[in-house]
Amino acid sequence: MSHASTSEVPDRVFQFVITACGLAVIGVLALIVYELMQRSSLSWHSFGWKFFVSQEWDPVNEQFGARPFIYGTLVSSILALIIAVPLAVGVAVFTTEMCPKALRAPLSFFVELLAAIPSVIYGLWAMYVLVPLLTQYVAPFLSKTLGWTVLFSGPFFGYSMLAAGIILAIMIIPIISSITREVLMVVPQHQREAALALGATRWEMIRIGVLRNARAGIMGGIILGLGRALGETMAVTMVIGNRPEISKSLFAPGYTMASVLANEFSEATGDTYLSALIEIGLALFFVTIIVNALARLLVWTVTRGQPARGHA
Amino acid sequence: MPENAAAIALTQVPPISLRRRLVDRLMTGVAVATVIIVLAPLIAIFGYLVYRGIGSLNWAFFTQLPKPVGETGGGMANAIVGSILILGIASVIGVPFGIGAGIYLAEYGRNRFGSAIRFTADVLNGVPSIVIGIVAYAIVVLYQKHFSALAGGVALAIMMVPTISRTTEEMLLLVPQALREAAYGLGVPRWRTTLSIVLRTATSGVITGIMLAFARVAGETAPLLFTAFGNQYWNLQPGQPTAALPLQIYVYANSPYDDWHRLAWGGSFVLIILIVGAISAVRYVVRRGTFGA
C-alpha cells in the first residue's frame, strides 16, 4: 500500500508489536493449559482416572478423589439453572416484547447492576440474610410440603446445597437474561408482524414468532450461565457448608470444585496434595471451556452478522 | 369478485376465543411476576448493603489498620491501599496488552489468525477466576517463593485483557474508513494513522472498555486468595503479601466477631460504590455518543 520507503520500518515495527499483543492472548491461554497440566501430572500419575470417581479426600494419608466436589459443582449448578432459567427468560421477554419503552432502559440497567455485584458481596448477603431467611421460613415450609421426597429430607443445616443453588441462581440470572434479550432483539420484525397478521394474540406471537426463532440462542445463553455457575467460587464457598460428602438432600452441606480450591489451596502441604488440587482446577478449566465454546457457537448461529446492540 | 371475497373475509374474522385471551393475559402476568421476583433480591441486597454499610463507615474506617481480635474499632485503610496497588499493577500490565490486541484485531485481524485470537479472548473470558489464580500462583508465587501483590496483579491483568481487547476492537471498527483513507492520502504512515487518528477518535470508547474491565476485576476475590494472600498491616511493596478489599471482606465475613462483620459490610459498601460509579460513568459516556457525530 505504502510507496514511501521511509515509513516502512516504523510500520513494520508497529505491526510486529501489535501482532505480539494479539499473540499474547493465545499465549496466555496456552500458558494456562501448560501450567495446569504440568503441575497436576503428579496427581494424574498416582491416581489416573480413579481420581474422578473416588470419594476419598484424605490429605493426611495422601488419598485424593474428586467425586464429592464434582457432584457438588454439578448439583449446585443444575439447581441454579432450574431456578434461574424461567425467571431470566421471563425478564428478557418482558423487556423486549411487553415493557413500555420508558421502562426498558432502567430495567436493563438494574439487571446489569445485578451482574456487576462482586461475588464476595453476594456471599456476605447470603450468609447474613439469605441463610437465616431459609432456615426460618423456607426450609420448614419445604420439609412440611415436600419432605417426603429425598431432595428436602433431613435436618436443614443452613449452610447447604439449597442456599448455594439459590445464590448461584441470583448471580446467573443477569447473564442468561441479557443474552436472551440480545437474541430476541435480532429476531426479524416481520416474524412478529406475520404472526399478528394471522390473528395471533401477543403471547401467541411471542411463542410462535419470537421464542421459536430464538431457541438456539436462548439455549446458548443458558449454557453460558451454566459455565459461570460451574466456576463461581466465593459466594458458593461462603454458604455451601464445605463438607466433602455426597448427600441426596439439598438441605445437607456439600462442597464444590471451586470451593475446595479456595479453601485448601494456600494451605496445601505436600506435592501430591497441591497437585491433586491443581488437577481439580484443570478439570474445572476444561469443563468450562467446553461449555463456553458450545454456548458461543449457539449464540453465534442466531445473531450471526447482525448488530445485536443497536436496538437498545 | 376478489374484492368481494376479501370484504367477506374481513368481516368474518372469528373473535379471539376466551381461552386464548386468558392465556395471553396469564402469560403477561407471568412475565411481570418474573421481573418482580428478579428485582426483589437486587433491591434487598442493595438496601441491606446501604443500611449496614453506611452505619459502618467513619473516619477510622478509611484511615486505620484493623484492630486485633477482641478490640472494636479500627478500619480497612490497608486493604483499600492494597486494592489500589494490586489494581494498579493489573492495569499497568493488562491495559497496554488489551489495547494492543484490540488494535490488532480491528486493523490487521480480518483473517483466520484474527478469528483465532477473538475466539481465544472469548474463551479466556469464561475461565473461572480461581483457575487464573492457580496459574498466577504457578508463574509468580512459586518463582518468588512467597505471596505478593505482583502475583495478584498478574492474575487480575489476565482477566482484564479479553474485555479490553474486544471492546477496543469494537470501538476502532466504528471509526469511519474514510478517516483512515484521508490520512493515508495525506501520506501519513499506517502506524501514525492508527495511533493518532483511529485510536484518538475512539478514545472515549476505549476508556469505556477499560472501565468495564476495571469494574469487573475490582471485586474479584478468588484469584487473590493464594496470590496477594492478604495482610494485616500496611504494605506498599509489590513483592510482598498485600491486603485487598474483597479479600478482607471474605475473611471478616467468615469471622465470628460482630465488629468484623461491621467492617465487612462497610468494605462491601465502598466496593459497590466504586463499581456502580464506574459503570454509571461508562453508561453516561456511551449515551452521550462516542464520536459526537
This complex has an ipTM of: 0.89
- Residue A2 belongs to a domain: no
- Residue A152 belongs to a domain: yes
Interface test with B, best of A18, A112, A240 (most B CBs within 10 A): A18
The reply to whether B92 touches chain A by the CB within 8 Å rule is: no
Average pLDDT, integer, range A35-58: 92
Query: How many whole angstroms separate alpha carbon A115 and alpha carbon A175?
Result: 7
Q: How many CA atoms lie within 13 A of B45 on its CB side?
A: 28
| Model confidence band, residue B1 (pLDDT cutoffs 50, 70, 90) | very low
Phi, psi for residue A293 in degrees, rounded to 5: -60, -45
Please say whether the beta carbons of B28 and A98 come within 8 A. Answer: yes
Residue A231 has pLDDT above 60, yes or no: yes
Identity of the amino acid at B20: R
Residue A257 has pLDDT above 90, yes or no: yes
The more confident residue out of A299 and A50 is A50
From A31-45, A147-161, B163-177, B215-229, the region with the lowest mean pLDDT: A147-161
Closest partner CB to B127 (pick from A24, A107, A285): A285
Q: What is the pLDDT of residue B282?
A: 79
Encode A105-146 in three state secondary structure: HHHHHHHHHHHHCCHHHHHHHHHHHHHHHHHHHHHHHHHHHH
- Residue A137 belongs to a domain: yes
Residues 6 or more apart in contact with residue B158 via CB below 8 angstroms: A28, B94, B124, B132, B135, B136
Average pLDDT, integer, range A247-251: 91
pLDDT tens for residues A1-22?
Answer: 445 455 588 899 999 999 999 9
Three-class DSSP category at A297: helix
Q: Nearest residue on chain A to B38, judged by CA atoms?
A: A87
CA angle (B51 as vertex; B48, B56 as ends), nearest 5: 120
> Which CATH number goes with the domain that contains A83?
1.10.3720.10
Query: How many whole angstroms separate alpha carbon A187 and alpha carbon A86?
Result: 20
The more confident residue out of B32 and A108 is B32
Residue B251 has pLDDT above 60, yes or no: yes
- Residue A24 belongs to a domain: no
Mean pLDDT over the full length of chain B: 88
Residue B165 has pLDDT above 60, yes or no: yes
The DSSP element (H or E) to which A147 belongs, if any, is: none
Domain limits for position A161: 47-303
- Residue A33 belongs to a domain: no
Q: Based on the structure, what is the number of domains in chain A? A: 1
Q: What is the pLDDT of residue A130?
A: 95
Q: What is the pLDDT of residue B4?
A: 60
Say which CATH class B62-288 falls into: mainly alpha
DSSP A20: H
Residue B289 has pLDDT above 80, yes or no: no
User: Is B27 within 8 Å of A91 when comparing Cβ atoms?
Assistant: no
Instruction: Compute chain A's Rg from CA coordinates.
Output: 24
Domain ranges of chain B: 62-288
User: Is B219 within 8 Å of A119 when comparing Cβ atoms?
Assistant: yes
Average pLDDT, integer, range A145-169: 90
| Model confidence band, residue A311 (pLDDT cutoffs 50, 70, 90) | very low
- Residue A11 belongs to a domain: no
Please say whether the beta carbons of A122 and A171 come within 8 A. Answer: yes
The reply to whether B30 touches chain A by the CB within 8 Å rule is: yes
Enumerate the β-bridge partners of residue B229. Answer: B242
Q: What is the pLDDT of residue B3?
A: 55
From B61-70, B82-91, B244-253, the region with the lowest mean pLDDT: B61-70
Instruction: Compute chain B's Rg from CA coordinates.
Output: 26
Residue A105 has pLDDT above 70, yes or no: yes
Average pLDDT, integer, range B8-30: 81
- Residue A128 belongs to a domain: yes
User: Is B191 within 8 Å of A4 when comparing Cβ atoms?
Assistant: no
Q: Which residue reads 469505556 in cell numbers? A: B208
Phi, psi for residue A233 in degrees, rounded to 5: -115, -65
| Model confidence band, residue B67 (pLDDT cutoffs 50, 70, 90) | confident
Residue A216 has pLDDT above 70, yes or no: yes
Q: Which of residues 212-241 of B touch A (CB under 8 A)?
A: 215-216, 218-222, 225-226, 229
| Model confidence band, residue B74 (pLDDT cutoffs 50, 70, 90) | confident
Q: What is the pLDDT of residue A310?
A: 36
| Model confidence band, residue A312 (pLDDT cutoffs 50, 70, 90) | very low
pLDDT tens for residues B177-228?
Answer: 999 999 999 999 999 999 999 999 998 889 888 988 998 899 999 999 999 9
Mean pLDDT over the full length of chain A: 89
